[in-house]
């Protein structure tokens, strides 16, 4: 990737593909003191009013591009800054490579809580692992009531829901969700009925005296990849039909729609939704529904299969932080007569964890 100048035009040369850069694109990026507030990195001028801007003089010295624009502004640009933006190489997903896993995953990404964790290099490693694997486990987190909210707020901001800032996962009488029983929960994503769907779930184990109640995790992107390769017609229907998810409580009815496998504009995985306690497919034409039901059955059996699932026991002090847009989670049944099982959970947004990761990259110059 190079930058060249040619008759006052600035050219990005990437593998001999030459693209002329628009003068306003460059003029927007002037960083001199008069134009940019140093502490907030925000513009002190409004580029939406720039019009008819040309480059009157351009030259390159070492790693700097010096330009004079037709409105009289002269600016020096660091070339590496321009090229990194052009290639989008500072994009988080370009610096962290996802490691898609199945039940052969050897080592779960595991960290240990300490008081100064949040601003340290280890927090960077933790968040990087989170984006690689879609989850991390943090051990020895103080088991005080409600500590999970403090923990979460040091990474980002807790997103309160109709359950409150946090929720207690234990078996109760008259539960409003099957999570609050001792029944097994097959692999699912949480709250697909919520708008927007919570991004990251944190579950903190406070007590676990029972012999069952194992936690399960599945990498939804791995299963979706498998489906795409082996059953393309199932993959096609699950990536196109928008399913309604609905949660009914005594004072609220929550609904949202989405594909069981949502793709982004590039055809890459964006979000997995799966919760067969709450899904309502539209009344499509019979053949279409026939295919949809076969596809849902297939993906459900893949999610529950030993090939993709990992199973482990959360111990008091363990926090599991998981990407609710990528992973499915569940638990095995347990017997309430054996003792207590008590988890506390909350949700945060990707915004929080991504923002924190970028900040730590900047802080440690990574």
- Selected from 219, 345, 346, 356, the binder of ligand OGA by CB under 6 A is 345
Q: Which is nearer to Zn ion, 67 or 314 (CB)?
A: 314
The encoded tokens of residue 53 equal 């801007």
- Minimum gap (Å) between residue 138 Cβ and ligand OGA: 16
Could you give the angle at which helices 286-304 and 220-230 cross, rounded to 10 degrees? 130
Q: Which is nearer to Zn ion, 75 or 304 (CB)?
A: 304
- Selected from 3, 185, 223, 322, the binder of ligand OGA by CB under 6 A is 185
Residue 179 sits in the site that holds ligand OGA (CB under 6 A)? yes
Residues contacting ligand OGA: total by CB under 6 A = 9
CA atoms of 126 and 100, how far apart (whole Å): 17
Q: Please provide the DSSP assignment of 80-148 as one string.
A: HHHHHHHHTTTSHHHHS------TT--S--EEE--TTGGGSHHHHHHHHHHHHHSEEEEE-----TTHH
Q: Which is nearer to ligand OGA, 67 or 138 (CB)?
A: 138
212-231 positions binding ligand OGA, by CB under 6 A: 215
The half-sphere exposure of 128 on its side-chain side, counting CA atoms within 13 A, is 15
Strand order in the sheet with 319-323: 110-112, 135-139, 319-323, 200-208, 341-348, 167-169
Backbone region of residue 117 per phi and psi (left: phi > 0; alpha: psi in -120 to 50; beta: other values): alpha
Q: Closest Cα to residue 328, out of 170, 191, 164?
A: 191
- Selected from 53, 58, 158, 169, the binder of ligand OGA by CB under 6 A is 169
300-329 positions binding ligand OGA, by CB under 6 A: 329
- Minimum gap (Å) between residue 190 Cβ and ligand OGA: 5
Q: Among Zn ion, ligand OGA, none, what binds residue 55 when CB lies within 5 to 8 Å by partner kind? A: none
CA atoms of 303 and 319, how far apart (whole Å): 23
Please state the φ and ψ torsions of residue 133, each to the nearest 5 degrees. Answer: -100, -15
- Minimum gap (Å) between residue 179 Cβ and ligand OGA: 4
Q: Which is nearer to ligand OGA, 68 or 143 (CB)?
A: 143
R_g over Cα of the chain: 25
The residues with which 248 forms a beta bridge, in sequence order, are 253
Q: Which residues bind Zn ion (CB under 5 A)?
A: 190
Please confirm whether the linkage preceding 121 is cis (ω < 30° from 0).
no
Q: Which is nearer to Zn ion, 190 or 318 (CB)?
A: 190
- Minimum gap (Å) between residue 32 Cβ and ligand OGA: 51
- Minimum gap (Å) between residue 256 Cβ and ligand OGA: 16
- Minimum gap (Å) between residue 345 Cβ and Zn ion: 8
Site string for ligand OGA, 111-150 (x = CB under 6 A): ----------------------------------------
Q: Among Zn ion, ligand OGA, none, what binds residue 345 when CB lies within 5 to 8 Å by partner kind? A: ligand OGA
Q: Among ligand OGA, Zn ion, none, what binds residue 169 when CB lies within 5 to 8 Å by partner kind? A: ligand OGA
The half-sphere exposure of 94 on its side-chain side, counting CA atoms within 13 A, is 8
Residue 258 sits in the site that holds ligand OGA (CB under 6 A)? no
Asked if residues 67 and 74 have their Cβ atoms less than 8 Å apart, the reply is yes
Q: Which is nearer to Zn ion, 190 or 323 (CB)?
A: 190
The footprint of ligand OGA (CB under 6 A) covers 169, 179, 185, 190, 215, 329, 331, 343, 345
């Amino acid at each position: 990737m190079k930058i060249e100048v040619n008759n006052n035009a600035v050219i990005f040369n990437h593998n001999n593909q030459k693209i002329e850069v628009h003068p306003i694109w460059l003029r927007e990026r002037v960083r001199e003191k008069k134009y940019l507030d140093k502490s907030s990195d925000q513009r002190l001028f409004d580029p939406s009013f720039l019009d008819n801007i040309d480059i009157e003089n351009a030259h390159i010295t070492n790693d700097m591009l010096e330009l004079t624009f037709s409105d009289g502004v002269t600016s020096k640009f660091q070339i590496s800054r321009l090229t990194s933006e052009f290639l989008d190489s500072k994009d988080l997903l370009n610096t962290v490579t996802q490691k898609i896993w199945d039940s052969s995953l050897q080592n779960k990404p595991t960290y240990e809580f300490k008081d100064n964790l949040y601003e340290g290099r280890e927090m960077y490693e933790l968040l990087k692992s989170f984006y690689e694997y879609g989850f991390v486990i943090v051990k020895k987190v103080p088991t005080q009531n409600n500590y999970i909210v403090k923990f979460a707020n040091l990474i980002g901001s807790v997103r309160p829901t109709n359950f409150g800032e946090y929720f207690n996962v234990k078996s109760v009488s008259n539960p409003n969700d099957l999570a609050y029983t001792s029944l097994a929960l097959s692999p699912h994503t949480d709250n697909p009925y919520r708008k927007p769907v919570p991004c990251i779930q944190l579950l903190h184990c406070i007590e676990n005296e029972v012999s069952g109640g194992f936690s399960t995790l599945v990498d939804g992107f791995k299963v979706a990849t498998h489906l795409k390769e082996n059953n393309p017609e199932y993959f096609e229907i699950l990536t196109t039909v928008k399913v309604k998810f609905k949660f009914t409580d005594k004072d609220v009815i929550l609904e949202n729609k989405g594909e069981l496998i949502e793709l982004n504009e590039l055809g890459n995985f964006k979000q997995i939704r799966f919760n067969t306690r709450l899904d309502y497919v539209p009344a499509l034409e019979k053949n279409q529904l026939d295919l949809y039901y076969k596809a849902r059955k297939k993906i459900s059996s893949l999610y529950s299969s030993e090939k993709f699932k990992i199973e482990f026991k959360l111990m008091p002090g363990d926090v599991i932080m998981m990407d609710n847009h990528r992973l499915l989670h569940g638990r095995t049944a347990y017997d309430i007569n054996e003792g207590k099982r008590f988890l506390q959970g909350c949700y945060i947004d990707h915004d929080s964890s991504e923002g924190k990761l970028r900040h730590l990259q900047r802080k440690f110059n990574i």
